Structure 1
Amino acid sequence: MESKKFAQHGMLVVVRSLVSDRRCLLTLMLALLMPMFARGESQPLTIAELFGFPSTNTDGTTPHTPVIQASDGNLYGTTTLGGNDGSGCVHGCAGTVFKLTLQGQITVLYTFASPYANGRTPRGGLVEGGDGYLYGTTISGGLSNYGVVFKISKTGQFQKLHDFCATFPCTEGTNPVGSLILGTDGNFYGTTSSPPAYSTVFRISPAGDYTVVANFHNAPTGNSQGLLQASDGNFYGAGFNGVFRLSPGGTLTTLYLFGTQPNDGSVGNGPLIQATDGNLYGVTANGGTGASGIVFRISLAGDYIKIFDMVRTVEGLSPNGLLQASDGNLYGTTAGAGPPLAGGVVYEITADGTLLRSASLTNATGIGSVAPLIQASDGKLYGTARGSGSGSAAGTVFVVDAGLPPSSAPTISIINIPSNAAYGGSFAPAYAYVGDGITSVTSNTTSICTVSSGVVNFVGVGTCTLVAHATATANYAAATGSPQPFSIAPLTTTISIYNIPSGAMYGGSFTPGYTYTGDGTPSVTSNTTATCTVAGTVVNFVGLGTCTLVAHATAGTNYAAVAGNPQSFAIAQATPAISINNIPSGAVYGGSFTPAYTYTGNGKTSATSNTPSTCTVSNKGLVSYVGVGTCTLVADATATANYAAATGSPQSFTIAQATTTIAIKNLPNTARTGRSFTPTYKYIGDGATSATSNTTGICTVSGGTVSFLATGTCTLVAHATAGSNFAAATGSDQSFTIK
């Protein structure tokens, strides 16, 4: 007789698959209910629909992603289909961004509509930035139909930040999956999934500056659907085949591969979480003892243990990501199965894998949840379901009452408000705050003080008023502090020339730079006009002897006029030096450059070559790369009345072989078995050309001729050997069909 054990606060209940009579059934029910009433949270998990997406599609349908609770207390999320473009979506609508109050009132903020230039089908959730905007991705649409990154305000102002693979060749990744996360550096991080580039982890700034952090080509774990930045500053994910760590600098490390131990899970699903014990927790969609998925724990060092097996008829199958709620327990959902009439399950386990409570997702609450839960400030858990609900099977946002109390809203304030601020200064706020949200500050007086990258800058004179903020998290509500004012006073400043020349020579000049922090206009005057004069902003050396200058600044809005102390230097007879200041660092055969000179005289400049077999100099001064090896040049200047002739030191650089490309330019349009063709090549170089076949069962190469052996796809690669002046070249795969 089969049985399954449930541990509830140390009590074991054995549910036997056969219950012989009513007395056994009554005993069974009491055994199931009594431990639950003995819990600190005495109630069962209860699930209710918060909002059902209607079959009219105007609010969107089929949500695949979690909702978030933003700093205004409302829930925000996306749907993958439907919407309202104002014209009945005649040409197609493919998803929405929506706002949902905790009372179930929905507002559609944006519809992704044909021709989908701003994206199509959001398959990742939203994240709130420090600027209060919501950031997200779509899996397709955009300029090349490979997806976009976008930002949207809480009132619906939409801005596309990035098109994936807008130009080719493309190595940045396409079709983003999973939700973005906000990194501790203020940038957002996400993952991509599909060709033509390999899957990647990317970083994007709030302004849209995009960088590939890592490429998962040949990575054993595969990429994940979403990331976690842990307490050590590294990023972690559960890929198809295992768990990886990624440093902010892009170093990938495999922590664990599924299949290392028996029944240890397969197909990592959803982002990892870091629990209060410092360990990471995640799920796999498949594998485990019942082949329905597992929950696992892994340390930051890679110590892995399976803590829970899904049972298809109890917890369902294909679990999604986890949530550690305010009671310290782990909550999750499964995408399907469960008890009779269920379409997935919400379950609660301890951090050591003891099942505490579970409840079925049904047609009334919504079924087919494929996203993690969140805990809102009211203590309740919120999730999304892809189907059913009161809106005629179009999906729901549902709420789970686990008996958890509302989170207490933390307070926040700036603890290092300056007491003697002066115009032109700045400071980095520190906060009095107990919570795990992202802290930030805003200015109510932007004409007096502004905030940039977390630093408060004093841009005017008067009263600066700042407000501290912290974003909402799973365990803490968003926090906004009280206004905190302080005074910014005018600044008394000084001025001096910071680049007085130490080796001035007749005929030269310089443009003074000033050590000055005011808002007046700086200038300079000469006390010795027989030796040096000022024209505009330039000081000219017109005689030999001592030049004495005085720096000045006019009065500005926040600064008084100021005159510096006299500053003197000597001007000597000109014995100029000369050198070429643009020696190339990556010269290759066949190239050229025109030398530019560092020279303070008025003679005629030129260059000569000490190595004419490698580089030559034309009458017009153009240096040409005529060989491979070391090119040595010498700069010269002719003599004039006030300057001696100048010859520089030899300056050498390396001329390397030229790199080139090669491709077969006569691939057959119609190829039939038993025939052949002789490739010709698009190639500039001095190597010997050839081709090889990657599909020798379909086509072979012999003596420069490609023979068609069998029907299918023939893939050829063009090659060229290294020559005297050109490096070896290998082309890209080129394929055609043999019929």
Structure 2
Amino acid sequence: MQAPDGWVYRAAVGNDYYACLTIYRFRLDQDRLQKAYVLGLDKVSNTSCLLSVGQGCLYGVSEAGGPNNDGVIYEVSLHPHEIHILHNFNGMDGLDPFQLIVGRDGMLYGVAKAGGSLSDAGTVFRVAPDGSEFKVLHVFRGTDGKQPVALIQTQDGELVGVADHGGKGDGVIFALKPDGTDFHIVHQFWPLQAGHMPVTILQAPDGELYGTAQLEGDRGGGDGIVYKMRPDGSHFQKLHIFRFADGALRFDLILDPSGLTLYGTTILGGQGNTGTVFKLNVDGQGFQTLHAFSSK
């Protein structure tokens, strides 16, 4: 994430589950990573997002931490370097928060992978940048999705996300309005068919949705897919089926500024079975493995 000061910031934690949060930064025209500062946030774990809102502040979530150890939403001031906890999760409003985005209305929206009810299937939430107005927008029941892991706001203002389990199969694409109303399932993933356990979603300038699912994709074969569909769930198609040699599991995906090429990473597969970097045109053509990681 590139902040207004020109630096690209990333958050990381140590191998210890109760490690402190460390913010790193680098410039795109430099080839070295710089430790910006270490923050005393106890029990921080799996800080999976860091984003900028306005001038001088970064926002993120941690899957653990806080008095309940159920996760927190935090704000980091760049000048001076200070951390402020905006919300402590308590299980009933979510557990293991995983992603945060900025809505067009200036509010922060996110998903928590668990908690929310006895089904422990996760929540969609909203909070103001100052920590006020926290609201649970949707509580998953399992039958409508379980373990949400990604969320975007589409061009028409709707919130669209993926839950990597649940529904009638194994994972769903869901949608709802920013006020929490009109929740509905846009697409249901089924094992042994068009991939399952979806993990990413994004929208291209042409309005089409693109994403990845990390298992199967070809009647029980394959090691995940890149998919494309319209926001209403129609015209779902598999753009690429992974075959382990070109990557497998836990895909990340971004779209280049032209809106014509997708880039992504995997954590397994490739020549060294330690993941790959790949590219693919939005029409499904031109798949290429750009790099295969090695454990050496």
TM-score range, shorter chain: 0.7 to 0.9
* Structure 2 partner of 1:293: 171
User: Quick one: structure 1 residues 258 and 196, their matched pair in 2 at CA, closer, same or farther if it must change by over 3 Å?
Assistant: closer
Q: Is the 8 A contact 1:369 1:383 kept in 2?
A: no
- Measure the CA separation in 2 of the matches of 1:247 and 1:353: 30
Q: Secondary structure at the match of 1:268?
A: strand
Cα offset for 1:141? 5.4
User: Quick one: structure 1 residues 312 and 218, their matched pair in 2 at CA, closer, same or farther if it must change by over 3 Å?
Assistant: closer
* Structure 1 partner of 2:33: 158
86, 98, 111: which one aligns with 1:213: 86
- Measure the CA separation in 1 of the matches of 2:6 and 2:243: 35
Q: Does 1:236 align with 2:109?
A: yes
* 1:580-623 deviation per Cα after TM superposition (whole angstroms, max 9, x unaligned): xxxxxxxxxxxxxxxxxxxxxxxxxxxxxxxxxxxxxxxxxxxx
140, 143, 164: which one aligns with 1:258: 140
* Structure 2 partner of 1:329: 208
- Measure the CA separation in 2 of the matches of 1:196 and 1:375: 34
- Measure the CA separation in 2 of the matches of 1:308 and 1:401: 23
Q: Is the 8 A contact 1:203 1:212 kept in 2?
A: yes
Q: Secondary structure at the match of 2:233?
A: coil
Which amino acid in structure 2 is aligned with residue 202 of structure 1? Y
Cα offset for 1:314? 2.6
Cα offset for 1:333? 0.4
Q: Equivalences for 1:409-488 in 2 at 5 Å?
A: none
User: Quick one: structure 1 residues 263 and 217, their matched pair in 2 at CA, closer, same or farther if it must change by over 3 Å?
Assistant: closer
* 1:74-102 deviation per Cα after TM superposition (whole angstroms, max 9, x unaligned): xxxxxxxxxxxxxxxxxxxxxxxxxxxxx
- Measure the CA separation in 2 of the matches of 1:377 and 1:247: 29
Which amino acid in structure 2 is aligned with residue 253 of structure 1? K
171, 180, 186: which one aligns with 1:302: 180
Q: Secondary structure at the match of 1:250?
A: coil
- Measure the CA separation in 1 of the matches of 2:276 and 2:139: 35
Q: Is the 8 A contact 1:176 1:190 kept in 2?
A: no
138, 142, 148: which one aligns with 2:22: 148
328, 331, 344: which one aligns with 2:224: 344
Which amino acid in structure 2 is aligned with residue 254 of structure 1? V
* 1:287-313 deviation per Cα after TM superposition (whole angstroms, max 9, x unaligned): 0111x1000011011021111100122
* 1:256-306 deviation per Cα after TM superposition (whole angstroms, max 9, x unaligned): 1111xx721111113x1110010010010110111x100001101102111
* Structure 2 partner of 1:183: 53
Cα offset for 1:218? 4.1
Q: Percent identity?
A: 26
* Structure 2 partner of 1:130: 4
Q: Is the 8 A contact 1:239 1:269 kept in 2?
A: yes
TM-score (norm 2): 0.82
308, 312, 315: which one aligns with 2:194: 315
Q: Secondary structure at the match of 2:236?
A: strand
Which amino acid in structure 2 is aligned with residue 377 of structure 1? P
Cα offset for 1:158? 3.0
Cα offset for 1:178? 1.3
Cα offset for 1:384? 0.8
Q: Does 1:201 align with 2:79?
A: no
Larger Rg: 1
Runs of 4+ with >4 A deviation: none
Q: Secondary structure at the match of 1:281?
A: strand
240, 243, 247: which one aligns with 2:128: 247
Q: Is the 8 A contact 1:230 1:236 kept in 2?
A: yes
377, 383, 398: which one aligns with 2:278: 398
Cα offset for 1:250? 1.1
- Measure the CA separation in 2 of the matches of 1:141 and 1:357: 39
210, 228, 241: which one aligns with 1:360: 241
Which amino acid in structure 2 is aligned with residue 293 of structure 1? G
Q: Is the 8 A contact 2:268 2:274 kept in 1?
A: yes
Q: Is the 8 A contact 1:147 1:176 kept in 2?
A: no
> Which residues of structure 2 form unaligned runs of 5+?
114-121, 285-296
Q: Is the 8 A contact 2:66 2:72 kept in 1?
A: no
- Measure the CA separation in 2 of the matches of 1:148 and 1:369: 23
TM-score (norm 1): 0.34
Cα offset for 1:223? 4.3
Equivalent pairs, count = 266
* Structure 2 partner of 1:283: 162
Cα offset for 1:196? 6.7
Q: Secondary structure at the match of 1:277?
A: coil
Q: Is the 8 A contact 2:214 2:250 kept in 1?
A: yes
Q: Equivalences for 1:602-681 in 2 at 5 Å?
A: none
Q: Does 1:227 align with 2:100?
A: yes
